[in-house]
Chain A
Amino acid sequence: MSAVGTPAARTGGGPAAAPLGAGWRTLLTPAGVLLAAVATVAYTQAADLDSTEARSLNLPHIAAKTWEHVGLTAVSTLLVLAIAVPLGVLVSRRWMRWSTPAVLAVANIGQSAPPVGVIVLLAIAVGIGFWPAVVALVLYGMLPALRNTMVGLREVDPALVEAARGIGMSAWRVLVRVELPLAVPVILAGVRTTVVHNVGVAGLAAFINGGGLGELVVSGVNTSRVATLVVGSVLIALLALLVDWIAGVVTAALRPKGL
């Protein structure tokens, strides 16, 4: 277990910092999550709902919102990967090292901005809907992935880079064969943080008509329907746990052997 706050883990800031309890949670988590999800949905079908609740809690609607939520998370995470990792590699190159403190400072300050504020600001600037929500998610999710890419590359033992150069690897080959593989665990930890973050922030997309399960929570609060609110909350929570589990499994699988 690593302390929250060491360079690599601070970005994790929590669940993604280390594959927690890899043993006992491995299959318990997805089984429990799925069971709870089935129970929640079954409740919505069996319970005595008024018309307002029934409008939100019918099966097709729940499925559509869940799908939107997954879509928001997936699209934004892929975009983050496509932008943050190359950017992190770029600013870690020797001739860009000078920019590292500035980039990290911006990333740190950006991280302290409340996501709901960022989403609303984007809605005002760009408009409401799916894509502004995706932009907000990308902006917000960039930071952990970017920072961990930089930290991961920086923490590669300089002696190994030296050894790689010494046996005649080109700079590009050193990056691809040595630096990136060794940084993979840290980078993946950042990506895991990003994707779990994004599940949460995607819930906020409902505020700007971006869709997703957040709509159930928002409409539940606005119409004072506790059932809708709780079902929405439970499903978001379960989705986050499931995504965290999947990310954990993927992280473990992609971790280079020998480390």
Chain B
Amino acid sequence: MTLPEYIASRFDMLAFQAVQHASMVAQCLLVAAAVGVGLGILVHRDERATALATGATSVLFTIPSLAMLGLLIAPLGLGVAPSVTAIVLYALLPVLRNTIVGLNGVDPALVEAARGIGMSRSRVLLRVQLPLAWPVILTGLRVAAQLAMGIGAIAAFVSGPGLGDQIFSGLARIGAANALNATLVGTLGIVLMALLFDALFVLIGKLTTSRGIRSHA
């Protein structure tokens, strides 16, 4: 069976797994964005809190995905829970770090000016700091999305959802008829979705970044 035939014969299931994969990644990113940006806002003023938060997330980040999943199975069991938790934890570091860097990268003179015309702290954050830091934060989300896609593949090993299932069913049938097709579909499908997500983020960046600070108009 050729690759197109393989895809055609299982199109419904593959489409379902692809959507599942994408939706898992998207939801994890939303959680990571909320937690990462929120945490970043909380700690970015305080040097020690910043060091603690980035230190802790980078330790998490250093732990290989297989080990992380293994550790999460113990309390959470198999399935969606450990997969989603692992992805969120990995996605946290790029989002958090870029939020802090982005916020601290805003010209202090601008913050000063905003305070000077009578904006409250929260208004300065909302109207000045976050919009200016947004491109950097978005880049962090992009990196996080790429990571999440790849880690999503291993999730199938702990019975998680997504296209990883194709890879592991290929692995299980090495030597058999459709092993290569299944693995290829899984791997290339994830690459393709990663590229789509990346393009999506570029688009979001174009649409949501103030025209005044876009690097190339």
Contact = CB atoms under 8 A, between A and B. Distances in A.
A–B interface present (Cβ within 8 A): yes
Interface of A: 1-5, 10, 13-15, 20-21, 24-25, 109, 111-118, 120-121, 123-124, 128, 196, 199-201, 203-204, 207-208, 214, 217, 220-221, 226, 229-230, 232-234, 236-237, 240-241, 244
B150 A112 contact: yes
B54 A207 contact: no
Interface in B33-81: 50-51, 54-55, 58-59, 61-71, 73-74, 78
B190 A114 contact: yes
A4 B139 contact: yes
Contacts of A236: 63-64, 66-67, 70
A221 B157 contact: yes
A233 to B, nearest CB: 3
Q: Chain B: interface residue count, which band?
A: 35 or more
Nearest to B156: A116
- Nearest 3 A-B pairs (CB), nearest first? A200-B64, A117-B187, A233-B70
Contacts of A5: 94, 98, 136, 139-140, 142-143
B186 interface: yes
Given A15-B62, A112-B195, A124 B179 contact: yes
Interface stretch (B2-10, B113-121, B166-174): B166-174
B70 A120 contact: no
A1 B64 contact: no
7 contacts: A1-B54, A5-B139, A116-B164, A117-B186, A121-B184, A121-B187, A233-B68
A117 B71 contact: no
Pick from A112, A118, A203, A237 the residue with the most CB of B within 10 Å: A112
Interface of B: 50-51, 54-55, 58-59, 61-71, 73-74, 78, 93-94, 97-98, 100-102, 105, 136, 139-140, 142-143, 146-147, 149-154, 157-158, 164, 167-168, 170-171, 174, 179-180, 183-184, 186-187, 190-191, 194-195, 198
A240 B64 contact: yes
B70 A230 contact: yes
Nearest to A200: B64
Pick from B51, B67, B150, B187 the residue with the most CB of A within 10 Å: B67
Given A2-B101, A112-B190, A114-B150, 6 more contacts: A113-B191, A199-B64, A203-B67, A221-B78, A226-B73, A244-B62
A132 to B, nearest CB: 11
**Secondary structure of the B side of the interface?**
helix
B94 A14 contact: yes
A120 B170 contact: yes
A3 B103 CA distance: 11
A3 B62 contact: no
Contacts of B139: 3-5, 10
Nearest to B64: A200
Contacts of B54: 1, 20-21
A3 B71 CA distance: 29
Contacts of A25: 55
Contacts of B63: 236-237, 240-241
B67 A237 contact: yes
A236 B73 CA distance: 15
Contacts of A196: 62
Nearest to B100: A1
Nearest to B93: A14
A160 to B, nearest CB: 25
A234 B71 contact: yes
Contacts of B142: 5
A213 to B, nearest CB: 8
A114 B102 contact: no
Contacts of A203: 64, 66-67
B167 A128 contact: no
A116 B93 CA distance: 22
Nearest to A226: B74
Nearest to B51: A21
B123 to A, nearest CB: 25
A117 B153 contact: yes
Contacts of B68: 233, 237
A29 to B, nearest CB: 9
A165 B183 CA distance: 51
Contact of B70 (A4, A114, A116, A232): A232
B67 A232 contact: yes
